[in-house]
Amino acid sequence: MFVRTAKLQFGLCHKALNTIYEAAVAPILTYVAPIWLEAIRINENLTKYKIIQRIINFKITKAYRTITYNACCVIAGVK
């Protein structure tokens, strides 16, 4: 659903997509975070998490894939 509402030229605005992210996606990604803290320290698991977050940040900012992960997080305003 998130991908469908975040088209590059049409779709929801940045503010609406950021609200959806904070209300629906972020709680799923951080659910029981203290328990899987040791698993995220493994580089492979951290990479998977960053890939998911990067795709969502692309949709929020409507940026191209050539932008870096850190820049995309800053522009999207994601913590």
The predicted pLDDT at position 59 comes to 81
pLDDT score, position 60: 82
pTM here?
0.64
Positions of the chain with pLDDT under 50: none
**Can you give the pLDDT at residue 63?**
78
pLDDT at 67: 84
Q: How far, in Å, CA of 6 to CA of 9, rounded?
A: 9
Q: How much is the CA Rg of the chain, to the nearest whole Å?
A: 13
Query: What integer pLDDT is reported at residue 5 of this predicted model?
Result: 57
pLDDT score recorded for residue 1: 54
Q: Rounded distance, CA 75 to CA 22, Å?
A: 15
What is the number of other CB atoms lying within 10 angstroms of the CB of residue 60? 25
The domain locations on the chain are 2-76
Q: Are 30 and 15 in contact (CB under 8 A)?
A: no
